[in-house]
Amino acid sequence: MDTDKTRIQSLIDKHQGLKKNLVAILLDIQESFNYLPPESLRQVAKALGMPLIDVLGVATFYRAFSLRPRGKHMCLVCLGTACHVRGAQKILEEIERKLDVPAGENTKDGQFTLETAACLGCCAIGPVVVVDGAYQGHATIRKVAPILDKYRKPKASGKRPKAAAKTATRKGGRAARKK
């Protein structure tokens, strides 16, 4: 059994291979692989004794799941009415410019996936941008760069700041939301 199959099997076993735990199993696979590889769906269907079409139905129903590899960070921009009237479209365009990627795609370096949503259920703090589950309310174009910078991979430079070097030495360097 190859490594991926073994990993998937251990996640199925963690949930006793029960049909009622299908969503939990898929969530674990999504977290482990950052998406649901097609072979994982076949393996889950077989292990749970379910038709593949039913597993696929669940995998495509929830926003938490992706059938394509996702970037390391998920950036979600709400384009619902309340956010839209407060400038969400312009914020999305700024994020697309900064990340150099259109909505629905991954950045070339695999760091970000940019997605849009119809409403995230927190209209009062709109416009809303969510990165890795952290809600950034009252977003503005000027806030886009600082928001993204928090998640960007630091550029490699020859020197390390003193504090960071100290920490690294000490440690020795490690939503199912309905669509």
Contact residues toward ligand FES (CB under 6 A) are 78, 80-83, 119-123, 126, 128
What does the alpha-carbon distance between residue 159 and residue 106 come to, in Å, rounded to a whole number? Answer: 30
Min separation Cβ 86 and ligand FES, Å: 9
CA atoms within 13 A on the CB side of 57: 5
Min separation Cβ 77 and ligand FES, Å: 9
Residue 83 vs 148, nearer CB to ligand FES? 83
Coil, helix or strand for 52?
helix
Residue 45 vs 119, nearer CB to ligand FES? 119
Residue whose beta carbon is closest to ligand FES: 80
Residue 64 vs 123, nearer CB to ligand FES? 123
Contact partners, residue 33, CB within 8 Å, separation at least 6: 4, 40, 69
Min separation Cβ 51 and ligand FES, Å: 36
80-107 burial, b at 16+ Cβ within 10 Å, e below that, comes to bebbbebebeebbebbeebbebebebbb
Q: In 3D, which of 122, 82, 116 has the Cα closest to residue 102?
A: 116
Q: In 3D, which of 174, 177, 148, 155 has the Cα closest to residue 73?
A: 148
Min separation Cβ 137 and ligand FES, Å: 9
Residue 36 vs 127, nearer CB to ligand FES? 127
Min separation Cβ 82 and ligand FES, Å: 4
Residue 48 vs 130, nearer CB to ligand FES? 130
